[in-house]
Structure 1
Amino acid sequence: MSSVGAASRAFLYCFNKVEVTGLDNLLGVLDRRRNGQRDRGLLTVCNHVSVLDDPLIWGILPLRYAVDVENLRWGLGAHDICFKNRFFSTFFSYGQVLPTHRLWHSPQGGLYQPTIAQAVKLLSSPSSVIKPSDVTFSTNGSDSFVSPSIYAANRHAWVHIFPEACCHQNPENTLRYFKWGVSRLILESEPAPEFVPMFIHGTQDIMPEDRGFPRFLPRIGQRIRVMIGKPADSESLFGHYRTAWKRLVEKSGDPDLLKHDPEAVQLRIDVAKAVRDEIQKLRLSMGFAPDEDETAALADTWSKEPNKRKFKSPVDGSLVNRH
């Protein structure tokens, strides 16, 4: 974590022009959470424009934060990329990345996969009872990973998520719809995590989807802009949604019965849109034009996209990479 953080910072500031607005918003939260002084999780949410967004964007953190590993983020990484062999699996596991299946690539994907449950537990308070089945978890029935949430030091953790779940490159940096895994993190974590929205622009020029040879090399000399919003208690932002969720859980008696419940599904849709709205505020504050299509926040709007790995979206003309 420390080595990659230092390398990311060196690349950003030595070879590019970096503008960060609101860095103190994030650093203030991290300072309060140092040395285990935390009573709730931290959820940061950001748009996704480049395959190098994570770890590059964490290069904005001063080096003293990069060596405080227990106070660094847990992320969600594509199982088919980050965990495709033993070397990658070890590297990204040490990098506090959770193996995540994407439905486009795997039937094990979706918001009810074991990895999302791990992320909910990382954000939540430590459990007083650890069952033998809690020590490891499997994402597909054949692999096995140590459950980071069994360690009390990992609870009330910082989890970062890119809810668009794929690289989305558009000249106006428009947003896709946000997938509903982020809704689970907000609705089911106990207590409600602290919430910090982020917006990035410029990393798409470091690794543009239409880049030519040498495709594997990042481009330098780019202008990178990062906007970090003010921290907020998720209860204050999304409290009425959490109250509605708890009411549904009490009514059903079992959260598993709510996987396909119409009210629960609509609640997840509403929460994902509310999170997207917070990121949208940052986008607009950076001078980008408002969405022309008000339905861009809905999954149905994007269902007309082709079943391909890479394509130009018929919705907004953006370059999309599902790798």
Structure 2
Amino acid sequence: MSRSTDRSATGDCPSLPWRALSATTIFGVAALCRSFLYMCSRPEINGLESFLELLESRQDVSRRTRGLLTGIDPLYSTEFPCFCLIAWRTSIADMGLIRQYRTILACTMDDPIMWGAIPLRWNFGLSSSNKRWGFGSHDICYQSRPLALFFTMGQVLPTHRLAHSPHGGLAQPAVTQAIRLLSKGPFPPDPHLPPPERQHWSLENICVDPFSDLPTAYTTTGIDSHLAPSAYACNSYSWVHIFPEGKIHQAPNKTMRYFKWGVARLILEANECPDIVPIWLEGFDQVMHESRGFPRFLPRVGKDISITFGKKVDSEAVFGDMRRRWREIKAKAEVASPESRNLPLGVLSDELLHDEEAIELRKEVTQKVRDLVLEVRRTRGLSDEDPKHGLAETWIEEGPQREGKMKDESWSFQSRVQPCSLLQLRRGGIIRG
């Protein structure tokens, strides 16, 4: 393909063909998922009207003053949310990727099917500014070029899981991109710049805009290359969706695991504290339960599915003091290490990453987010959890088994991830000691 530059590929938005392909991907998936939700399941949707009003208020990018962060406790989730076609089997098999398809489908029933509750008009049009961005496991969603292109078009950030990749953890580029998406952009992709030859499209480098010569790519490993969404002004104050548990956890009493601390970075480090909407899901574990038999790769139809949107949180009232304390911690670190003063947004110095006070603050913010989800859980008539369920140390006691049926009757799945050691958890900022 020629390297001709489309004039629409500016710092305001990607090229028109890129936006068209992304819009087609998102709309097609949304249509399939809405069909599955309403034609193959028995859905119960609560609080959708207020959530749609919030989306309506965010239609004009120029009038936004903060990003939007939605977070759920799924009873069926992967390390990070992914975006997939649930009826993609034929095309995947034609490409010789049927095993990849089975892995992806078995791991991605919450997102995007839950968004089938949103009317299709919200997923129509070339603008990506009011469509959600999510995280997708790099070792699953980006393991081949066709999959990488598909998930890139579906607005999924390639995310490395610490238990599977040395590139994982709190400071990885995907988290930086998410922080910038929740802020007022555009932002140059530094310091995560790929090699110069990876800034431009080729058959080996398909996750960048082929109709632009602008250096808007970033890398997650030093050798890969992905279009940086935060490099475009149209993605200022975007909507980012997260699965804070970061692991499938199907418990009969609908309890939650501890939340990952990357959630805290999104709230503390964005330019303005994002609007936050907690969401509670039920029934997706029955659509693709870990104990299911043949055919494992097919979702089960006729199941009861419940999606409950919580009210928009007064984020300044809840997290304002924590953000103030973060600024104080950051100021002290910059005095101690002047070279860290000019770090780009979303990039942490080693001092800030490992500072004891910063770690405790991240734990506090993450626990507060978990409490917000628990409040929505209570509206479903579920009893309160044991507070110990919110601690990482509690789940370490599961022992070396990371898949299958656990001692507490819950089911777990790691998606080809090897059991992580205590050393890996400490390195990733999950536990200390």
Q: TM-score, normalised by structure 2?
A: 0.72
1:297 maps to amino acid:
G
Deviation at 1:131? 5.9
For 1:152 and 1:307, the matched residues in 2 are separated by: 45
Match of residue 91, structure 1, among 147, 150, 156: 150
Q: Distance in 1 between matches of 2:368 and 2:190?
A: 35
Stretch deviating more after TM superposition (106-115 or 11-20): 106-115
Aligned 8 A contact 1:47 1:279 in 2 = yes
Which residue in the other structure is 1:220 paired with? 301
2:238 aligns with 157
Question: Which deviates more from structure 2 when the two are superposed, residues 296-305 or residues 272-281?
Answer: 296-305
1:192, 1:233 within 8 Å by CA — same for their partners in 2? Answer: no
The alignment status of 1:299 with 2:392, answered yes or no, reads yes
Q: Is the 8 A contact 1:16 1:223 kept in 2?
A: yes
Equivalence for 2:412: 320
Identity %: 45
CA deviations 1:26-57 (Å, max 9, x no partner) are 10110001132422100000012223100100
Letter paired with 1:41: G
SS in 1 for 2:306: strand
Matched, 1:272 2:366: yes
Pairwise CA distance, 1:304: 2.1
Q: Per-residue deviation at 1:274?
A: 0.3
Equivalent runs, 1:1-323 vs 2, <5 Å: 1-36=26-61, 37-50=63-76, 51=107, 52-68=109-125, 69-127=128-186, 133=193, 135-253=216-334, 254=340, 255-256=348-349, 257-291=351-385, 293-314=386-407, 316-323=408-415
Distance in 2 between the 1:313 and 1:96 partners?
Answer: 34
Aligned-pair distance for 1:311?
2.9
Q: Which amino acid aligns with 1:8?
A: C
How far has the Cα of 1:194 moved from its partner?
Answer: 0.6
**Larger gyration radius, structure 1 or structure 2:** 2
Q: Residue 242 and residue 266 in structure 1: after superposition, are their counterparts in 2 closer, same or farther (change >3 A)?
A: same
Query: Which segments of 5 or more consecutive residues in structure 1 lack a partner in the other structure?
Result: none
Q: 1:261 to 1:130 in 2, by over 3 A?
A: closer
Question: For 1:201-258, what per-residue CA distance to the aligned partner results, in whole angstroms no more than 9, with x for missing partners?
Answer: 0011111011110000000001100111111242222111111101100111134121
Query: Residue 224 and residue 31 in structure 1: after superposition, are their counterparts in 2 closer, same or farther (change >3 A)?
Result: same
RMSD: 1.6
Distance in 1, Cα, partners of 2:187 & 2:412: 44
Give the 3 Å change call, closer, same or farther, for CA 136–306 of structure 1 in structure 2. Answer: farther
Q: In structure 1, what is the Cα distance between the partners aligned to 2:392 and 2:60?
A: 40
Conserved? CA contact 1:48–1:165, under 8 Å:
no
Deviates further, 247-256 or 126-135:
126-135
Counterpart of 1:149, as a letter, is S
Q: Distance in 2 between matches of 1:267 and 1:131?
A: 27
Structure 1 residue 269 displacement after superposition: 0.6
Following superposition, the deviation at residue 140 of structure 1 comes to 1.6
Q: 2: CA distance between counterparts of 1:96 and 1:127?
A: 17
Q: Secondary structure at the match of 2:158?
A: strand
Measured in 2, the distance between the counterparts of 1:208 and 1:162 equals 18
Change (3 A) 1:138 1:128: closer
Distance, in Å, in 2 between the alignment partners of 1:139 and 1:183 is 20
Given that 2:44 and 2:306 are in contact with CA atoms closer than 8 Å, whether structure 1 keeps it comes out as: yes
Greater Cα offset, 224-233 or 73-82 = 224-233
Give the direction of change, closer, same or farther, for the CA distance of 1:92–1:128 in structure 2 (3 Å limit).
Answer: closer
Q: Judge conservation of contact 1:48–1:166 (CA < 8 Å) in 2.
A: no
1:10 Cα offset (Å): 0.5
How far did 1:66 drift? 1.6
Q: 2:207 maps to which residue?
A: none
User: How far apart are residue 137 of structure 1 and its match?
Assistant: 1.7
**Amino acid of the structure 2 residue aligned with 1:54:** D
Give the TM-score taking structure 1 as reference length: 0.95
Task: Give the match's secondary structure for 1:259.
Answer: helix
Count how many residue pairs are aligned between Structure 1 and Structure 2: 321
The 10-residue stretch of structure 1 (64-73 or 145-154) with the greater mean CA deviation from structure 2: 64-73
- Is this contact kept in 2: 1:164–1:178, CA < 8 A? yes
104-113 or 191-200: which moved more? 104-113
On the 8 A contact 1:170/1:318 being kept in 2, the answer is yes
**Greater strand content:** 1
**Secondary structure in structure 2 of the residue aligned to 1:269:** helix
